[in-house]
Amino acid sequence: MNALWFIPSFLLLALLALLIRRGVYKSFRCFFAYSLFAVAADLARFLVRKSPPAYYATYYVTEAGYELLGILVMYEVLRAALAGLARAWTVRLIFPAVVLASILLSLARVQTASAHFNRLTYYILAGEVATRSSQVIVFAGLVTLIPLLGLRWRQYAFGIATGFGLYSTVMLLTTTAFSDFGTRFKFLWGLTSLVAYSVTVIIWIWFFSAAQKPDTPILELLAPSPGDLKHYKDALRRMR
């Protein structure tokens, strides 16, 4: 049974090899750093597993790292997915709006369970809920925008968002149950987390297994073609 807990680590190693092979670390540096950090975090937790004080300290530190990198990856995903609209000032407000909404949702949810945890655990849980909420919001937003902007679904940014979005949805539900029922739900929570994260990494591997086909920039879709420009010029000449 214990061997099952190493499945995500082996999958992450395969993902890292694929990211290096595709050269994705150049365009998605935060996601590459996240994947590398995840492997290192798993190894660090394994090495100190027999010492409860060291394990809990390592767990809290690595969880904080996961949360910080998780937020940075969402910024990276939005920047890549909305690159064609980067000049619009309203687009620049999307990420801050997502972070703010996530923090508010986190505070509203975790506040009800604050009595069950000490202060440090409370902040870790609040940060986790905020990070997961931002990932779900980004995923849902991109799913909505794909048909509107005429983009291809199998793009790296969408793959990253899909994996995080599905995993975060599952973890928000299970974390809620864990906070309500306490340690009685601990084993099932861990097992669900293991399965969900393994599926998430498999999703990432599938998306990165194929070379990314470039989308037509959104600005090009909105701009008139050379034939249209000629037609407009001819019309203007006739009006003179």
Query: pLDDT, tens digit, for every residue of 46-57?
Result: 899 889 899 988
The pLDDT of residue 213 is 67
pLDDT digits (tens, 9 = 90+) for 162-216: 999 999 999 888 866 665 555 566 677 778 888 999 999 999 999 998 887 655 4
Most confident of 51-55, 114-118, 229-233: 51-55
User: Comparing C-alpha atoms, which of 99, 93, 98, 77 is closest to residue 146?
Assistant: 77
Examine the pLDDT at 108 and tell me if it is beyond 90: no
pLDDT-derived band at 224 (thresholds 50, 70, 90) equals very low
The pLDDT of residue 126 is 82
pLDDT digits (tens, 9 = 90+) for 5-50: 788 899 999 999 999 998 888 889 999 999 999 999 999 998 998 8
pTM of the model as a whole:
0.79
Residue 168: how many other CB atoms lie within 10 Å: 25
The pLDDT of residue 229 is 44
The pLDDT of residue 221 is 38
CA distance 33 to 115: 35
